[in-house]
Amino acid sequence: MKIKIKKELLLENLNKVSKAISTKNLIPILSGIKFDLTKEGLTLTASDNDITIQTFIPADNKDMEIEKEGSIIIQGKYVLDIVRKLPDEFINIEVIDELKILIYAENSEFNLNGINQKEYPNVALENSKNFVKINTKLFKTIINQTAFATSTDESRPILTGINVKITGDILECSATDSYRLAKKQAKLNEIAGETYNIIVPGKNIVEFMKILNEGNEELEIHIFSNKVLFKQNNLLFQSRLVSGNYPNVNNLIPSDSFLKITANLSNLYDVIDRASILTSDKEKNIVTLETNKNLLIVRSSSAEIGRVEEKMNITKDNEEEIKISFSAKYMMDALRSFEGDTVELAFEGEVKPIIIKDVEDPNLTQLVLPIRTY
């Protein structure tokens, strides 16, 4: 194997696949990146058995010259550091004597020990017959609006994932850690050939968001019984699925309310943000919200630090009043997910969930549970 490639191009692709390399992996070969060089182009693959990432650079790319075909596995950490720190515009990679790797530029030369590519596990990145297409920008928005609500508690693995449901031309993503909930629906351009209901690990899909190209290209979603494959142009990202049945989130969202208020999103976020400064417990950071006619009063206090009170104008749908406490962090996470200027908060009672919606986008629902302060 022998190749000359532009540093910037190689580094971009190495950065993407390296997201699948785990430092905790007990299988040494999975700490490497697999290079497959053929007359069609260069394929880079990395996997930790939980996720697999693959990129492809076609042979007609003007920033790459294929001199000799072949395959090798190079330790991911070292090849990434070497390529990142070499000052030259172009880098040469050559395999000598099957397992000896030469990485060199004009004034630098690195000799590395490679790993035989035959020892690499079969990661099988096959396509499904019926796959779903979605606009990449839309998909990133949906994940950003829901993934933050997943649980990090591994003792409840189902809640560490995002529930993805596809029925007809509707895609629905939901996430909850049992203290808050996020749900977003979006319309697909085509009707799906099958109905799907899967749970994708939240941390995996967040990693995918980091390497997914911005733009309006189509993203393909290939769903299998135990894994899901995302495909965008020359980038493949495969993740295992979480087994089990996700709770029906619609049963958790109250259908009625005794009071609804509308508020400017930016002002509400800033008021809660400032009120949370003096909260003593940064984990719970409890603030209290109270309505008084067309005023919203947000308070927080700490015996050790002091107290704060913020006021802002709101609009109410009736004359009822509410006083309720909640986690400032959870509320701010929820508010950050909205893109409009105005949000609606619906209250069913002081110990019932708070429902937050965008006045202009009914397809996004956020729920935050209140906290008893007495």
Q: For residue 148, is it within any domain?
A: yes
* 33 shares a domain with 62: yes
Q: For residue 233, is it within any domain?
A: no
Is 122 exposed, middle or buried, given 0-12, 13-18 or 19+ CB atoms closer than 10 A? exposed
Q: For residue 236, is it within any domain?
A: no
* 326 shares a domain with 219: no
The answer to whether 278 touches 305, Cβ cutoff 8 Å, is yes
The per-residue pLDDT for 128 is: 83
* 75 shares a domain with 54: yes
* 263 shares a domain with 245: no
The CA distance from 329 to 335, in Å, is 10
The per-residue pLDDT for 280 is: 63
Number of domains in the chain: 3
The CA distance from 151 to 158, in Å, is 9
Q: Which of 217, 250, 249, 248 is nearest to 235 (CA)?
A: 217
Q: For residue 283, is it within any domain?
A: yes
The per-residue pLDDT for 260 is: 96
* 115 shares a domain with 16: yes
* 147 shares a domain with 94: no
* 177 shares a domain with 104: no
Which tokens belong to 185?
């629906």
* 268 shares a domain with 245: no
Could you say which of 220, 250, 280 is where a domain stops?
250
Contacts of 300 (CB under 8 A, 6+ apart): 275, 276, 278, 279, 285, 286, 287, 288, 307, 308, 328
* 215 shares a domain with 169: yes
Identify any residues that bridge with 332 across adjacent strands, giving them in sequence order. none
Q: For residue 234, is it within any domain?
A: no
Q: For residue 373, is it within any domain?
A: no
The domain that holds 7 is classified in CATH as 3.10.150.10
* 270 shares a domain with 245: no
Q: Tens digit of pLDDT for each residue in 213-240? A: 888 899 999 999 999 999 999 999 999 9
Rg (CA), the chain: 25
Q: For residue 20, is it within any domain?
A: yes
The answer to whether 101 touches 3, Cβ cutoff 8 Å, is no
Could you say which of 77, 92, 119 is where a domain stops?
119
Could you say which of 97, 119, 141 is where a domain stops?
119
The CA distance from 149 to 293, in Å, is 32
| Cα angle: 318, vertex 320, 322; to 5 degrees | 130
CA distances from 305 to 36, 72, 272, 279, 301 (A): 60, 60, 17, 8, 7
Q: Which residue segment(s) compose the domain that 354 sits in?
A: 253-368
* 213 shares a domain with 312: no
The per-residue pLDDT for 61 is: 97
According to DSSP, residue 344 is labeled E
The per-residue pLDDT for 60 is: 96
Average pLDDT by consecutive 10-residue portion of the chain (374 residues)? Answer: 97 96 78 95 94 97 96 94 96 93 95 87 82 94 97 94 97 97 95 94 96 90 95 96 94 91 97 88 80 95 87 96 95 96 95 94 95 79
The per-residue pLDDT for 109 is: 96
The per-residue pLDDT for 283 is: 55
The per-residue pLDDT for 257 is: 92
* 257 shares a domain with 245: no
Q: For residue 338, is it within any domain?
A: yes
